[in-house]
Amino acid sequence: MIPYAKLFRMKPSSNLLSPSNHALVLIDFEGQMAFATKSISTTELRNNTAIVAGASKIFNVPTVVTTVAEASFSGPVFPEIEEVYPQATSGYIDRTSMNTWEDPAAYKAITGKGKQKLVMAGLWTSVCIVGPALSAIEEGYTVYVITDACGDVSTEAHERAVQRMVHAGVIPITSIQYLLELQRDWARQETYVAVTDLVKKYGGAYGTGIHYAHHMLQH
């Protein structure tokens, strides 16, 4: 008899993200960059950023946090990142270059993770995400961009940037998609509570639904 798993070929696609097959790069989530962001509301951007950062922490994803001119111009990172990756212990990489890939320290930190898949998110999409995404693609990396955890000075700027990256081979995903792709199976009890708590706090209507379901199941 053919084993059930072989009969139905229950093997996930290699294109899916897992906690161990990629590194996350969080780029320029800073106040000065957010002030001019118009393609997404600041509230939604911060919630989506919290989901991404929280997901990476829950699943122990190798993560690089990089800033641009943090002390002199762009200011501190979002509290949602600082809470998960405190600067004192995480060691943010501050740059002068707009393209993270052109900064020696950032480049060494990212490539040093030893992952062929890179997931990126940050501000602004058309500058600080396009630069490293296209550069990494050219060096043979598979790049995913979390588009709803990115933003730009206009919807046009954001959309054209995403379009440009997709044409170059970047794979667009969303924050909730990222989180659920890492969880993959609700039977994974070791991360279930942390994941659902994260969604209840930052996941909007989806989080409200989970809160409702958990409440009703207790009665």
Query: Which residue type sits at 57?
Result: K
CA 9/CA 4 separation, integer angstroms? 8
- Cβ distance 52 to 24 under 8 Å? yes
- Cβ distance 119 to 178 under 8 Å? yes
CA–CA distances in Å: residue 112 to residues 24, 50, 64, 108, 119: 12, 25, 10, 6, 15
The verdict on whether 128 is a catalytic residue reads: yes
Residues 6+ apart with CB under 8 A from 136: 101, 110, 118, 143
- Cβ distance 175 to 52 under 8 Å? yes
Say which of 26, 34, 77, 128 is annotated catalytic.
128
Residues tagged active-site: 128
